[in-house]
Structure 1
Amino acid sequence: MFNQDYYMDDTNVAERLYREWKEHGNLIIAYDYDNTVFDYHGEGHSYNQIVKLLRECKELGAYLYVFTACEEEKFPQIEAYLQENNIPYDAINEAPDFLPFKGRKPYYNVLLDDRAGLRSAYHALRLAALKIKEERAFMQ
């Protein structure tokens, strides 16, 4: 019997991400734009840790998509910012075509969002990515 909800423990979240990454060969990572990788209010905030992790995950084969509430007219501006700042992405507000199911809720293995537990999601994804990276280095 568990004393707490299983996925309230970041270690368990990281382990699930690692297992899913191994099983499928990649992860689907959704990330918000405003105040997650872009300083929406122009207050001088940095998002270097998130951007670095996204780059590492992309190198490990993850599918990355921007999941934003911005209107579609802003997508060209978002794409320009991402390209100028070398922030990887595969799509904006589109789940990958390779999923065997479709639904109204966008699918992702993990969501990085300043309004949705960013710190916890970041740490769990970072742990899973480190484990995948170490495993791949060992196998080479």
Structure 2
Amino acid sequence: MDYYMEDRNVINRLIREWTQYGRLVIAYDFDNTVFDYHGEGHSYENVVKLLRDCKEEGAYLIVFTSRSEEELPFVCSYLNDNEIPYDSINEQPPFLDFKGRKIYYNVLLDDRAGLHSSFSSLSATLQYIQQRKT
């Protein structure tokens, strides 16, 4: 099996990177990851809680959305009104000397990009980081 198809290897890499750098860069989509785009009554409370908990542990959070520039004030307003943490929107972390078209992140939470798998791996990583502190 491909190495990063195994959850344990993904979790170990995230733990190693969080430990080495003191934080992770976590990117997350807006629509249908923290916001109910279609108004169907979906809850994203588990993702939002994970983001809050990761932020408390020092993670850098990027909203990685395909929304247009004109829609970003709404995105900011929604995130602020619902106390969903973020550090930037569609921008590289300022502390990284990384140049490229793709935004750098250690893990991506996105309803169209394996949300369950990345959520589970990040949750396990956070649990390890929190236990290590006690």
Q: CA deviation at 1:68?
A: 0.3
Which residue is 1:17 aligned to? 14
- With normalisation by structure 1, the TM-score equals 0.94
Which residue is 2:4 aligned to? 7
The higher radius of gyration belongs to 1
Q: CA deviation at 1:100?
A: 2.0
- With normalisation by structure 2, the TM-score equals 0.98
The whole-number CA distance in structure 2 between the counterparts of 1:26 and 1:6 is 23
Q: What is the total number of aligned residue pairs between the two structures?
A: 134
Q: State, as a whole percentage, how many aligned pairs show the same letter.
A: 62
State the SS of the aligned residue for 1:107.
coil
Q: Which amino acid aligns with 1:101?
A: F
Which of 42, 45, 49 is residue 46 of structure 2 equivalent to?
A: 49
Which residue is 1:62 aligned to? 59
The whole-number CA distance in structure 2 between the counterparts of 1:121 and 1:13 is 9
Which residue is 1:77 aligned to? 74
Q: CA deviation at 1:9?
A: 1.0
- Aligned alpha-carbon RMSD (Å): 0.6
Which of 90, 94, 97 is residue 91 of structure 2 equivalent to?
A: 94
1:128 aligns with 2:122: no
Runs of 4+ residues over 4 Å off in structure 1: none
Which residue is 2:113 aligned to? 116
Which of 2, 26, 29 is residue 29 of structure 1 equivalent to?
A: 26
The whole-number CA distance in structure 1 between the counterparts of 2:47 and 2:106 is 16
